Amino acid sequence: MTPQQAAEKIQSQFGDAVTELREFRGEYTLIVDRKKIVDICKACRDELDFDFLSDICSVDNMGEAPRFEVVYHLYSYSHFSTLRIKATVPEDDAEIDTVSGIWQTAEWHEREVFDMMGITFRNHPDPRRILMWEGYPFHPLRKEFPLAGKPSEMPDVAFTNEAPMEGGPFVTSPAGDVVTREPRSRE
């Protein structure tokens, strides 16, 4: 099955839930209603053999409505083909259902999208932040986030001076046996 056939099958099966089908250089993208994302993803896995979710990412279209897009990159090992699914998410209700029950890899990808963009995934089994620390109030990939970052409550003890490159406590010597090259042997 080609990506075009797969995309057309999903479009015919889900009707109004697929708002657009795009093709660019042989790659097919389905724009879908976020309320049907779980059903569409199940159909992609079970009926079309898209057995691998390679990535989930998000796009911030600041100034447009709906503001966010959640993008699912699917791969079929049996057909050696890819399919992209996009679900639009409004800023005032930045939630979408989790697909971690369909592909386990979704757990980490969804945590990253939440952490960086602030889109929450309903029924996610582990909704903790994955890159920023718990309690961090911002989402760094949103377009209003300043490039220089924002001040934080991180203690200064977390940041140290540069480690020396030559002769430092964790730099091994280039010559000698394994025992004498070990940094702790110099103490």
The mean pLDDT of 137-161, rounded to a whole number, is 73
Tell me the pLDDT tens digit for each residue of 2-43.
999 999 999 999 999 999 999 999 999 999 999 999 999 999
The residue among 167 and 152 whose pLDDT is bigger is 152
pLDDT of residue 176: 64
Q: Which residue has the tokens 């909704």?
A: 127
Q: Is the pLDDT of residue 164 over 80?
A: no
Looking at domain 3-150, its CATH class is alpha beta
Q: Which residues contact 50 (CB under 8 A, 6 or more apart)?
A: 6, 44, 74, 75, 76, 83
pLDDT of residue 139: 93
The residue among 187 and 112 whose pLDDT is bigger is 112
Tell me the pLDDT tens digit for each residue of 62-89.
999 999 999 999 999 999 999 999 999 9
- Three-state SS string over the chain comes to CCHHHHHHHHHHHHHHHEEEEEEECCEEEEEECHHHHHHHHHHHHHCCCCCEEEEEEEEECCCCCCCEEEEEEEEECCCCEEEEEEEEECHHHCEEECCCCCCCCHHHHHHHHHHHHCCEEECCCCCCCCCCCCCCCCCCCCCCCCCCCCCCCCCHHHCCCCCCCCCCCCCCCCCCCHHHHCHHHHC
Domain residue limits, the chain: 3-150
Low-confidence winner among 41-50, 91-100, 149-158 (lowest mean pLDDT): 149-158
